[in-house]
A = this chain, B = another copy of it.
């Protein structure tokens, strides 16, 4: 437990993940643009740092979890970034969801300075981050993964080494494809049921246990029926991830008709001003098309 860990990014996901590392006994230095989050972590026993560079100057493992590809580039490659302070042998674990192509580029830059990068995006939302039950999909060298496994185990439950650099990100994108399209499956079943005049609570219960069943239907449909659109996962972050999926699909010359459709429908939802709502708000677009409200 003597590994000194630096942690960059204390957002909805990062804060509870950093807390779980502290609880597991790791000495932790933290950096975030959010002053309140840093202060909360200092109370929990972390030490503060003035920049990602300062984090890297003392840590053996640097973890980052920020929003998007440009944020990771800035935090790792930018002025006062991790690379500026990186010492040979340091492992950088990027747990953000970003472009797999950019990930491989950043990994090369880290390796050029004698370090190693793992891409290790997560799934499971704020709830999973707090409970320490995140799914973690890891790309990078097997040996480095094995060395870092105890850290992952402090934050997650379902931890998979997927292969070389970038494969963690690619797996996360598969995850987001399935999440987004299954959400649409739920939405269409709900508006059909609403328009047909069904008791939607009974309908949801009748179909959830069988071949129609999904995490989305079991967990998000009840929220829709209560008109609860608070974010478990925000529409605008889902859109960022779908943008990554479709960019990668374009590189691969790959047709993803349903994923493209969901992305487009989420655009319409953002136009309705629902970008900060939870992804279950997708049903609102279908409601507009149907002239009906889905309600329990």
Known: A174-B198, A255-B290. A212 touches B162 (CB 8 A): no
A96 interface hit (Cβ, 8 Å): no
Q: Are A189 and B211 in contact (CB under 8 A)?
A: no
* Stoichiometry, copies per complex: 2
A169 to B43, CA, bound (A): 58
Q: Are A160 and B205 in contact (CB under 8 A)?
A: yes
A51 to B111, CA, bound (A): 78
Q: Which of chain A's residues 172-188 have a Cβ closer than 8 Å to chain B?
A: 173-182, 184-186, 188
- A: residues with CB less than 8 A from B are 100, 123-125, 128, 135, 137, 158, 160, 162-163, 167, 170-171, 173-182, 184-186, 188-193, 195-199, 202-203, 205-207, 209-217, 219, 233, 245, 248-249, 252-259, 261-262, 265, 286, 289-292
Which B residues are CB-close (under 8 A) to A160? 202, 205-206
A182 to B176, CA, bound (A): 13
Which B residues are CB-close (under 8 A) to A233? 211
Q: Are B210 and A175 in contact (CB under 8 A)?
A: yes
Q: Which 5 A-B pairs have the closest CB atoms?
A: A181-B185, A214-B214, A178-B212, A160-B206, A255-B289
